[in-house]
Chains A and B, each alone.
Chain A
């Protein structure tokens, strides 16, 4: 039994620009998009003002929770930011939790988490520019003294780097550990059942039943939720402080 841990598989190549590799990460993201679309449609179909169903109450609660989160972390006049925060939350959580279905998590691909962190980074720079003007935007790199310039640049760049690496590392480690545990459980099953002469029975990986589910609760559900939350909190806090 060999356990191999690979990068995302390239599922097909689009014939533009000398071949665009479409990897598992991208296709899994499409699955996430489809799931979220269906979920939203299901949540919000036939809503009523006076007699809300349980489903509608859940939808309203969800929206209000995100709005409250944004309001608490960014302030009253940031309500327009709620959909973006909800997008990051939904994309991050659903992508990470997708490993439950056996598909590869898009967030276990550094390119994906980097893309997300770059969105946050761009927003931070945009709001710096908006609140301080062009002069102030560049001036903050040489504050308090011009010697601090390299430090300031590192500080600016370290945020997206740390955000993307944290998210990637957490989800990937979960994937890797799950793969290792599967391999180990298969080997253990073979050890226990190996004396049976029938090769079919001897190869049934009995210990793979149940035990990985416990790990999945942590790595797929808990870790996914925490990472999505952390990513959103960092985005909100940094964008809000950039706008000050």
Chain B
């Protein structure tokens, strides 16, 4: 069995070692650094892309919120306007109703008053007629003779009128 010296400089071992290290360098470069660096780069790009997307989404959300707020404010204003209008028209309507009711009530009162007056007039008339008849009858009985109703009627009527005025 041949041995190299324990402490020696063997040129072929040196050359083999250089070759081995060159091969190892290639292996480590191609099989470890290249794929890992590629993946890391891709991940960096992905992260950047995600950040960009997140920013975009944020901006969109902010603009949507602004729009929503604007619309809400507008809607609130409109609602206030509608309520105000409704209140105004309701008030107007109320006044109208009250006014028309008042008017009707006035009309009805007036009519009732005229009717009462008419009825009273009629009642007077009736009573006057009856009184004149009764007076004629009483006078006839008292004088024992037939009083010509037509002759005295004017007299009686004056009397009754006086009675009516005195009342």
Q: Contact: B12 with A20, CB < 8 Å?
A: yes
Which residues of A have CB within 8 Å of B11?
A: 111
Whether A188 is near chain B, meaning CB under 8 Å from some CB there, is: no
At the interface with chain B, which of A6-14, A189-197, A202-210, A215-223?
Answer: A6-14
Tell me which of A29, A90, A118 contacts B16 (CB under 8 A). Answer: A29
What secondary structure prevails in chain B residues at the interface with A? helix
Tell me which of B4, B16, B20, B33 contacts A91 (CB under 8 A). Answer: B20
Q: Which of A24-46 contact B (CB under 8 A)?
A: 25-26, 29-30, 32-33, 36-37, 40-41, 43-44
> Within the assembled complex, what's the spacing in Å between the Cα atoms of A119 and B15?
11
Tell me which of A36, A48, A83, A109 contacts B33 (CB under 8 A). Answer: A83
Question: How far, in Å, is A47 (CB) from chain B's closest CB?
Answer: 5
Q: Contact: B31 with A44, CB < 8 Å?
A: yes
Q: Contact: A116 with B32, CB < 8 Å?
A: no
> Within the assembled complex, what's the spacing in Å between the Cα atoms of A84 and B17?
14
Q: Contact: A37 with B31, CB < 8 Å?
A: yes
* Number of cross-chain contacts by CB at 8 Å: 135
Whether B108 is near chain A, meaning CB under 8 Å from some CB there, is: no
Q: Which of B19-77 contact A (CB under 8 A)?
A: 20-21, 23-25, 27-29, 31-33, 35-37, 39-40, 42-43, 46
Which residues of B have CB within 8 Å of A87?
A: 21, 24-25, 28
Which residues of B have CB within 8 Å of A112?
A: 13-14, 17
Whether B143 is near chain A, meaning CB under 8 Å from some CB there, is: no
Question: How far, in Å, is A4 (CB) from chain B's closest CB?
Answer: 10
Question: How far, in Å, is B100 (CB) from chain A's closest CB?
Answer: 79
> Within the assembled complex, what's the spacing in Å between the Cα atoms of A9 and B27?
27
Which residues of A have CB within 8 Å of B25?
A: 83-84, 87
Closest residue of chain B to A82, judged by CB? Answer: B33
Whether A229 is near chain B, meaning CB under 8 Å from some CB there, is: no
> Within the assembled complex, what's the spacing in Å between the Cα atoms of A30 and B21?
10
Which residues of A have CB within 8 Å of B16?
A: 22, 26, 29
Whether A86 is near chain B, meaning CB under 8 Å from some CB there, is: yes
Tell me which of A5, A6, A63, A111 contacts B17 (CB under 8 A). Answer: A111
Question: How far, in Å, is B39 (CB) from chain A's closest CB?
Answer: 5
> Within the assembled complex, what's the spacing in Å between the Cα atoms of A25 and B33?
27
At the interface with chain B, which of A54-62, A123-131, A147-155?
Answer: A54-62
Q: Contact: B9 with A40, CB < 8 Å?
A: no
Q: Contact: A44 with B24, CB < 8 Å?
A: no
Contact flags (1/0) for A129-140 with B, using CB distance below 8 Å?
000000000000
Whether A23 is near chain B, meaning CB under 8 Å from some CB there, is: yes
Whether B1 is near chain A, meaning CB under 8 Å from some CB there, is: yes
Tell me which of B14, B23, B37 contacts A63 (CB under 8 A). Answer: B37
Closest residue of chain A to B41, judged by CB? Answer: A49
Q: Contact: A47 with B35, CB < 8 Å?
A: yes
Which residues of B have CB within 8 Å of A6?
A: 3, 6
Given contacts A60-B40, A87-B25, A115-B17, contact A21 B31 (CB under 8 A): no
Which residues of A have CB within 8 Å of B17?
A: 25-26, 29, 106, 111-112, 115-116
Question: How far, in Å, is A45 (CB) from chain B's closest CB?
Answer: 9
Question: How far, in Å, is A172 (CB) from chain B's closest CB?
Answer: 8
Q: Contact: A86 with B33, CB < 8 Å?
A: yes
Question: How far, in Å, is B16 (CB) from chain A's closest CB?
Answer: 4
Which residues of B have CB within 8 Å of A83?
A: 25, 28-29, 33
Q: Contact: A8 with B36, CB < 8 Å?
A: no
Tell me which of B10, B35, B39, B40 contacts A111 (CB under 8 A). Answer: B10
Excluding A9-B4, A29-B16, A86-B32, 6 further A-B contacts by CB distance (< 8 Å) are A9-B1, A41-B31, A50-B43, A91-B20, A111-B17, A119-B18
Q: Which 6 A-B pairs have the closest CB atoms?
A: A115-B17, A111-B13, A40-B31, A7-B6, A115-B14, A10-B2
